[in-house]
Chains A and B, each alone.
Chain A
């Protein structure tokens, strides 16, 4: 099955991010909630999704800037933990994600007498992303080619096809699983790739997981280590 050579090549697209400073900053948790209401959606995107584009290798304690700041600068571990479990993949839109974040902070503040603030820590600076799509020139028509491209491609392409795809296509499937299901007709492998949760690790770990899945499948098909027919 893994030797299927599809007519529809997978074209790898990478991306580059420019960070824009919005000039808005929160000193405490109430301000954080208030500014979350008013900042553009690109800023919500920056501090949740593209967080992973900026932390490609080292895994942080928490998977978004809000939880990170509340933990490290405000030292409010309860709110940090509550914000950390917000999985952006559970939300179809950035608006819905914004609502959830605000709701969690409001609920947390309603249980407190005083508003936790950064104190000796640094304020939270709101930024936003400007993403440029960059075709990498890499293409795959077989699972072997796909696997080799995943191994070599700039890691921003993995971000683009997994994280960006979620928002771009507004569906649970990422670009990789969609192509493997639709073009290579390998539903079992596609299901495994779709089930990957990219929010629990770094992009390099995600690359490693994708390679392991491909290798496992190729091994099972008895075509590991270059034995695959072209």
Chain B
């Protein structure tokens, strides 16, 4: 029995844990190296922190290396990441040289020998220039579907040295002469952000933020960013509010040192006016339990951004048995099964109509929430992610 894997038996679909054990039999002793930039912070690091120990316990020689860099390196890689996501960025030859130099230093310091090397995102991508064998896969977590061309052209030469690339959605990928795979992100149901909470724990969070417990709550979890369309959510709430005594809660990251975020927050506060039923919460990155409690307390979760990455917050809410009303941007529509686990909408009015419909029909809300949880159980849990990784290890590195 593999203890690290067994803890997921209570949350995974029937047969999954035994299946994963058998799958791991096919890749015993294979060396699987992950490389990224941070140990903590961000969904990818959260998942790796769980997956790597589980894979090791299953008999895979899994390792996780983190590259070291300078402030200048961070600045350049932020520009590269923004450029890959379509923001017009200028990267001079000198800047790019910093990227290459730091990559070279990391290549010397790290043990890059493995059967399969998964390099996450653009920051460590140039390490491929120093590959020593094994298969190398570039895991792009960004939406690189419409990059700023000069940045992509410069960066692409590294990607071409990989054996394959992995994207979170087909539309996030660029044309490449190497195989491209699709792996959806996942959530870990046992972390602080997703674990079961007691009624008292949820109540404590609601009390702390002054949110009424017995009235329907609409929730949007997103940073304050124009693309997240908090103003649209307020308009939809106001249309629904004429018919239902509900509350609207925004839970977003703090906007300190982020002028654009500050501007959006100010606009949202102005639009909310003195409505006591609109709660605007700025939460620190470590506020996992608070987010968990708010999602569990919500009646309906709204994720109607106009531009979105994969948007794994949708799966987090669905895992808590909540129907999600979402837009078509990014991965939101890949997670919602329209009219089964929630609704995909195309306008503020569409969101308002679906909010009213669900609040009028609580039994539908309950049924959709239950379906949403089962859908996530089978498609967006870390156990599915583990299966994807082990399968890729076997297919790309056969005996």
Contacts and interface: CB of A to CB of B under 8 A. Distances in A.
A20 B179 contact: yes
B392 A18 contact: yes
For chain A, give the interface size range: 20 to 34
Nearest to B328: A122
B162 interface: no
B112 interface: no
Nearest to B389: A18
A19 B182 contact: yes
Interface stretch (B44-52, B169-177, B209-217, B299-307): B169-177
A17 B391 contact: yes
A21 B178 CA distance: 11
Contact of A154 (B15, B167, B176, B180): B15
A134 B337 contact: no
A142 interface: no
Interface size class of B (residues with CB under 8 A): 35 or more
Given A56-B378, A122-B171, A130 B395 contact: yes
A132 interface: yes
B182 A16 contact: no
A123 B169 CA distance: 12
Contacts of B13: 56, 154-155
Given A56-B378, A58-B375, A155-B13, A23 B180 contact: yes
A134 B19 contact: yes
A21 B392 contact: no
B26 interface: yes
Interface string A5-43: 000000000101111110101000000000000000000
B371 interface: yes
B75 interface: no
Interface in A149-208: 152-157
A136 interface: yes
Given A16-B23, A130-B395, A21 B378 contact: no
A50 interface: no
Interface centre among B15, B23, B337, B341 (most CB of A within 10 A): B15
A58 B341 contact: yes
Contacts of B199: none
Interface of B: 13-16, 18-19, 22-23, 26, 167, 170-171, 173, 175-176, 179-183, 328, 333, 337-338, 340-341, 346, 371, 374-375, 377-379, 387-388, 390-392, 394-395
Given A21-B180, A154-B18, 4 more contacts: A21-B170, A56-B13, A72-B338, A123-B171
Interface of A: 14, 16-21, 23, 25, 54, 56-58, 60, 72, 120-123, 125, 127, 130, 132, 134-137, 152-157
6 contacts: A20-B180, A21-B180, A23-B175, A58-B341, A132-B394, A154-B19
